Every structure is written in C-alpha cells, then in structure tokens.
Structure 1
Amino acid sequence: MIYLDNSATTKPYKEVLNTFIQVNESFYANPASIHEAGVESNTLLDRARGQVANLLHTENQHVLFTAGGTESNNFAIFGVPKANTHKGKHIITTEIEHASILEAAKSLEAEGYEVDYLKVDATGTISLQELQEKLRKDTVLVSIMHVNNEMGAIQPIEEAAKLIHENSRAAFHVDAVQSFGKLPIHFNGDAGPDIISISGHKIHGLKGSGVIAFRKKMNIIPFVLGGGQEFGLRSGTVAVPQAVALAKAARMAAEYMEQSEQKYRKWHNELFDYLTSFGDSIHLLSTKLGAAHILSFSVKDLKGEILINALQKQGIIVSTSSACSSKQKKTSHVVKALNIPPNFVNGVIRLSFGALTNDEDIQEFKKAFTNVMKDLKGEIIV
C-alpha cells in the first residue's frame, strides 16, 4: 500500500509509540497526586510541556495539552470571545477554515455574536486589505488557519498579525494543525499569533493528543470545569503518556522540518508538472506557492470517489479533499470558495505527503494514475 493521505492522519513514528508505551508502563500515576509516583509523573509532564513551549517560543504555563486540533480550535473560538464580551462580540475568520472553527463560529452567531468571513482568491489566499477593513473596535478574536487542509494555501500570518495588533484589541488565533512541523510557526511578539492550535496525529504522533498554546497570559474562560488541572482551564486527569508522546513527535517534526520540506517541494513540483501535462482534463486547486506537502487537483467530469476506488485497486491511498468532509455527499466549502469550473467540482482529489513517503511512492502514483486515466476515459458523472 502506498499511503498518500497524510493530511488526514499520519502513521505514528516508532519512537513515539515506544515513548507512549514506556510512559504508560513506568509513569502511570496521576500527576495530581502528592505521593512520589505522582510527583514523578508530574515532573515528566512538565518536561513535555517545556519542550513544546520551547518549540513555540512561549512559557510553560502557556501550553495546555488537549485531545486534538478540534478541541484546541473550539477552546480558542469559544474561550476568548466569551471571556471578553466587555470588549465586544465581533469575530473574524475565513470561509475556508476547518469545520471545528466554522461550526463553532456558527454556534456563536446563534448566541448573538457577529462573525465576518473573509473571502479567498483563486489561490485560496485571503486579502489583507479585506482583513483590515473588517477589523473593528469591538473585534475580540480573529482566527485564520496557517495552511488550508484541503488544498494547501498558505495564509500571510505575519502580515495579518501586524494588522490585527496595530488596528484592534483582538486576539489572533492560528490553526496550525496542517503547518506545524512543515513550516515555521511560533510566537513572535506582535508579528505573530496570540494562540496556536496543534494536533498530534498530523505530525506522526498519536490520535487524541493536541495542544493549545498562548503567547502570553490571556483572558479566557475554562474549557472544562472540575479539579483545576491545566492551570484551571481544562480540568480532568491529564493524559501524561499522550502529552509526552506529542512532545516527542513535535521535537522530531521540528528536527526534520527543513529536509522534509525539501523532499515535499520536489515531489509537489514534479507531480504539479505531471498533472499539468494532462491539459484541460485536470484542474489544479493547489499552486506551486502553496504548502509543499499538499497537492489537490480535480479531473474533469469524474467523481472523486471513482478515482479513489480506481487508485485503491492499484494500491494507492488518496482522499477527496479532506477526511472530515469526504464521507459527506456534498461539495466541500473550500471547493465552493475557490469558484472552480462546475465540471471539476465533483472530482477533487488530495495527495498529501508525510515523513514516511519516499520517491518510489511518487513514481508508483504516476504510473497508477496514468493507467487509471486511460481506464476511466469516457466515464462521465451521472
């Protein structure tokens, strides 16, 4: 099997799995307990927290472990506005965010918050001018993903941060689920975000692990009430093995980031040129300026499901746009936002690379796709 669906999830590193097992075996005590075994677990937890804080350029007490990217995103979208209603009830996000942002924003709209959704151009990029125009005195939160999960557009995070901090009192949240470990992303004063979300299973870590981190102490309501763990913001016994495993995966992602990006960019450009050779039969949603590890395209007058099944028969695993929306029988909101030609809307396929992808995988995909295109020639959407 050749696995090219790493933006949906990645295979955990063996080192991460070994870390998870070792911590479960030797540091299973509750880190909130005051006995020696509890203290040892808590020490290990603090060390993992410090490692993540170091990678993000923040302090230990500003890093919270969560169950993944969706929870981290929900934490930011609900936590900041509800704690800052005295400043206003206006939120800005984009029309191509992950569902964990968009659904949360819709929920807040139902509660009386006002949400503006920034449009994107054909490359999937927001307009900084529109962002500046939308900022208001009562804007309390701006949430913009760094890399789009469906087609890889990279948003101008640094420029956006400067605009937000210079023209409003809003907190700036960045969903870095698809960028952490692939592109530089960290806190950088007013030139960077105030809040960052990370997911473990996107960086060869474990599902059920994530991080929400803050640049500084912020006014935010607790996400889970109870015993006061995670600085009183997310109560419940902390999953030390997941936290330590995530820190391990994050360190490895950071260590290999530069060489991984070089490989991904080589494959991205090679496949981009290969797909372009099919002429008007294929529409590329991704651009050569987008994230190197994601390449999305669409085949004219074909359903994505047909392509996926045909490729799977040849041992190639890919997805239609995002895993979160691929099972739903409707057009992705990202595809709609890009305004691609109607006869390409249903045939979107996403290739995404990971640390375990190799050159042979790319060559095998090209062979398989060439065969599939020959076999499926003439199959039209019904």
Structure 2
Amino acid sequence: MIYFDNSATTKPDLSVVDTYSKVSKNIWGNPSSLHQFGEQSFNLLEQSRQQIAKILNVFPDEIFFTGGGTEGDNWAIKGTAMAKRKYGNHIITSSVEHPAVINSMKQLEKLGFEVTYLPVDQNGKVSVEDVKASIKHSTILISIMAVNNEVGSIQPIEQIGELLTKYPTIQYHIDAVQGIGKGLHDIIFNDRADLITFSGHKFHAPRGVGFMYKRRGKKVEPLLAGGGQEKNLRSSTENLPAIVAMARALRLLTDNEKEKVAKQAEIKNFIFNYISKFDNVITFSKDNAEFAPHILCFAIKGVRGETIVHAFESYGIFISTTSACSSKKHLTSSTLTAMKIPEEDATSAVRISLDENNTMDEAKKFIQIFDILYEKFKKINA
C-alpha cells in the first residue's frame, strides 16, 4: 500500500499509540481530583503542556488543549467575536479557508456580524493589500490559514502580521493545521499571531485531540461551559492519554524537521515534474517556495476526480479528491472555484499529500501506475 493522503489524516506513530495505551491503562485519574492519583494525572497533563510549549518556543500558559482543528477554529473565531463584540462586529477571512472557518463565519453572520471574504489569485493566495483595504474601525478579527489544505499554497501570514502591527486591537488567528512540521514555524509564530490552531491527527497523534496557542493577554470567551478546565476557557475533563500521545508525536515530528521537509519537497517535485509534461494534465499546485512541500493538486482533463482516486486505489495507491471533508459529498473544490478554475477542470482535481514516511520508491511506483491509467483515460476520452 502507498498512502498519499496525509492531509486528510496521518497514520499514528506506533510509539505514540504505545504512549496512549500506557497512559490509558495506568494513569486514568481525573486531573481535577484532589487525591494523589488525580495529582499524578495533573502533573502529566502539565508536563505535556510544557513539552509542547518548549518545542514551539512559547510559554506553557499559552497552550490550551482542544478536541482538534475544527474545535480550535470555532473557538478562536467565535470566542473572539464574543469577547470583542462591544468593540466591533467586522471580521476578515479568505475565500479558501477550511469549512471549520467558513461555516463559523456564516454562523456569526446570522448573529449580526459582518464578514469580508477576501478573493485569491491564480495560486490561491490572498493579497496583503486586500487585507489592508478591508480593515475598518469595527474590525475585531482576521483569520487566515497558513497552508491551504487543497492546493498547498502558503498564505502571506507573516506579511499580514507585519501589517497588523499598526492595528494592535485586531486579533489575528492562523489555522496552522496543514502547516505544522513543514518548515514554517517562524512565519506561523510571527510576532503578531494571537491565536493559532492545530490538530493532532495531522501529525501522527490520535484523532480527537488538538491544541490552540493563545498569546498572553489576548481575550477569547469559552465555547464550552462546565467544570472550568484549561483556566476556565475550555471545560471538559482532559483527554489525558491523547494529550500525552500528542506531545510525543509533536516531538517526533519536529526532530530533524529540516531534513524531513526537504525529502517531502523532493518527492513532490519529482512527481510534479513528471506529470506536468502530459498534455491533459493541469497542475494547480506549484513546485516553488510559495507552496507547501507536501501537497500536490492536479487534474486529468475529462476525468472526474473520484474516478481517478478509485483508479489509483485499485493499484493500492491512496490519494484523495481535494478535501477529505467534502470528498464524499461530491462537492466542487471551494479553493479551485475561488481561483476561478473552470468547473470541468475543478471536478477533475485530485490531491497527493505526503509526510516524512513517504519514499522516492513510492513516487516512482506512482508514476508507473500514472502512465498506465493516463493511457486508459486517454482511450476512454477519445
């Protein structure tokens, strides 16, 4: 099996699964309990928080555990809206965000908030000038993803951060779910980033766990009311086994990160350079520094994306249509639509997404199968 669908989810590392299992079996106390067993759980929880903070070079009290990327995005956006509503009701985002962001915005619009959805260029990127032109006195939040999950374009989040140094009252949220461990730490954790969201299952941790970075002094209201966990900001008994496992997964991810990223970029570019030579292939991702090293989106003209996915699957190669969240709904890529890609090409789009475990041998096998399938599709279309 060749697994090229890592932007949808990653295979949990075996040592991470082992960590999850050990904590589940041996340390099941509630971290809020007063007895010694609860204290043991609490200490392990805080050790995990400190480990994540050290890896990311932030303060431990800036790390808040969540149930994953979707919750983190909802919390950052709605929590800011609730906390800052008396100061304004205008929010800026892009037209190519993950549904967790877009649908949060649509919910807020129903509650009277005004949302500006920025257009993108042919590479799926927003313009910093468009961000600047959209800012109003009533703007309270700007939410822009670090890496687009469909085509891999890297948004100018560092430059937007530089712009926002002139607007200290506007909170700045970055969805970094696709950017973690991809050599982008410095642009994600820029000096102006206030809220950054992450999802554990995108970097070999269990599903159903994530975390949010919240800069000291920044205000968000909680989404979940309850027992007051996570400094009264995220109630719910902490998922300790998953949190400890996630901390281990993050450490493993960031070990030798530079070399891992270079390997993924080499594989991506190898495939890109090969398939882009074919007449009926359209590449929506590029092989340059403006795109993430692990995502390659392309189409074979005249062949629907789901047909391409199942054709590769028959040879044991697993890729996806442009987004796991919309693939079974047979929805046209929202990113490609925003990039003004014709619908007949957008419906043919598929995505390869790599991680550090993929190899060049797998890439060579992929292009062998690509040759076979391309000829089959060519005959059918003829």
Could you state the TM-score of these two structures normalised by the residue count of structure 2? 0.96
Give 1:86 shift.
Answer: 1.6
Q: Which residue of 1 is the match for residue 372 of structure 2?
A: 371
Structure 2 alignment gaps of length 5 or more: none
Residue aligned with 2:258, SS:
helix
- 8 Å CA contact 2:157–2:188 kept in 1: the answer is no
Give 1:152 shift.
Answer: 0.2
Q: Which residue of 1 is the match for residue 43 of structure 2?
A: 43
Q: Which residue of 1 is the match for residue 9 of structure 2?
A: 9
Give 1:167 shift.
Answer: 3.3
Whole-angstrom distance in 1 between the partners of 2:309 and 2:74: 31
Whole-angstrom distance in 1 between the partners of 2:12 and 2:123: 31
Whole-angstrom distance in 2 between the partners of 1:311 and 1:165: 47
Matches within 5 A, 1:46-125: 46-125=46-125
Structure 1 alignment gaps of length 5 or more: none
Q: Which residue of 2 is the match for residue 154 of structure 1?
A: 154
Give 1:350 shift.
Answer: 0.2
Matches within 5 A, 1:170-249: 170-185=170-185, 191-249=191-249
Q: Which residue of 1 is the match for residue 356 of structure 2?
A: 355
**C-alpha distance 190-69 of structure 1, shift in aligned 2 (>3 A):** closer
Matches within 5 A, 1:272-311: 272-279=272-279, 281-289=280-288, 290-311=291-312
Further displaced range: 161-170 or 295-304? 161-170
Whole-angstrom distance in 2 between the partners of 1:374 and 1:255: 41
Q: Which residue of 1 is the match for residue 133 of structure 2?
A: 133
- 8 Å CA contact 1:165–1:190 kept in 2: the answer is no
Residue aligned with 1:133, SS:
helix
Q: Which residue of 2 is the match for residue 259 of structure 1?
A: 259
- 8 Å CA contact 2:332–2:343 kept in 1: the answer is no
Give 1:181 shift.
Answer: 1.1
Give 1:168 shift.
Answer: 5.2
Whole-angstrom distance in 1 between the partners of 2:130 and 2:190: 20
- 8 Å CA contact 1:187–1:215 kept in 2: the answer is no
Q: Residue 146 of structure 1 aligns to which amino acid in structure 2?
A: A
Could you state the TM-score of these two structures normalised by the residue count of structure 1? 0.96
Whole-angstrom distance in 2 between the partners of 1:90 and 1:379: 51
Whole-angstrom distance in 2 between the partners of 1:254 and 1:136: 39
Residue aligned with 1:349, SS:
strand
Residue aligned with 1:86, SS:
helix
Give 1:60 shift.
Answer: 1.5
Whole-angstrom distance in 2 between the partners of 1:219 and 1:329: 38
Q: Residue 255 of structure 1 aligns to which amino acid in structure 2?
A: D
Residue aligned with 2:87, SS:
coil
Whole-angstrom distance in 2 between the partners of 1:215 and 1:188: 13
**C-alpha distance 276-90 of structure 1, shift in aligned 2 (>3 A):** same
- 8 Å CA contact 2:176–2:188 kept in 1: the answer is no
**C-alpha distance 188-217 of structure 1, shift in aligned 2 (>3 A):** farther
How many residue pairs end up in the alignment? 380
- 8 Å CA contact 1:159–1:191 kept in 2: the answer is no
Q: Residue 74 of structure 1 aligns to which amino acid in structure 2?
A: N
Whole-angstrom distance in 2 between the partners of 1:344 and 1:189: 35
Q: Residue 301 of structure 2 aligns to which amino acid in structure 1?
A: K
Whole-angstrom distance in 2 between the partners of 1:359 and 1:256: 18
Whole-angstrom distance in 2 between the partners of 1:189 and 1:155: 14
Whole-angstrom distance in 2 between the partners of 1:190 and 1:209: 24
Q: CA RMSD in A?
A: 1.6
List structure 1 segments (4+ residues) > 6 angstroms apart after TM superposition: 187-190
Whole-angstrom distance in 1 between the partners of 2:303 and 2:65: 42
Whole-angstrom distance in 2 between the partners of 1:87 and 1:151: 36
Q: Deviations over 1:118-161 (max 9, x none)?
A: 11101111101001111122111100000000000001111111
Give 1:187 shift.
Answer: 8.6
Q: Residue 298 of structure 2 aligns to which amino acid in structure 1?
A: F
Whole-angstrom distance in 1 between the partners of 2:173 and 2:90: 14
Q: Which residue of 2 is the match for residue 346 of structure 1?
A: 347
Q: Residue 306 of structure 1 aligns to which amino acid in structure 2?
A: T
Residue aligned with 1:92, SS:
strand
- 8 Å CA contact 1:123–1:285 kept in 2: the answer is yes
Say whether residues 1:317 and 2:321 are aligned partners. no
Percent identical residues: 37
- 8 Å CA contact 1:6–1:352 kept in 2: the answer is yes
Give 1:191 shift.
Answer: 3.0
- 8 Å CA contact 2:91–2:142 kept in 1: the answer is yes
Whole-angstrom distance in 2 between the partners of 1:76 and 1:274: 41
Q: Deviations over 1:314-338 (max 9, x none)?
A: 1110000010011112212111011
**C-alpha distance 256-64 of structure 1, shift in aligned 2 (>3 A):** same
Whole-angstrom distance in 2 between the partners of 1:209 and 1:190: 24
Give 1:256 shift.
Answer: 3.2
Whole-angstrom distance in 1 between the partners of 2:236 and 2:144: 29
Whole-angstrom distance in 2 between the partners of 1:187 and 1:47: 26
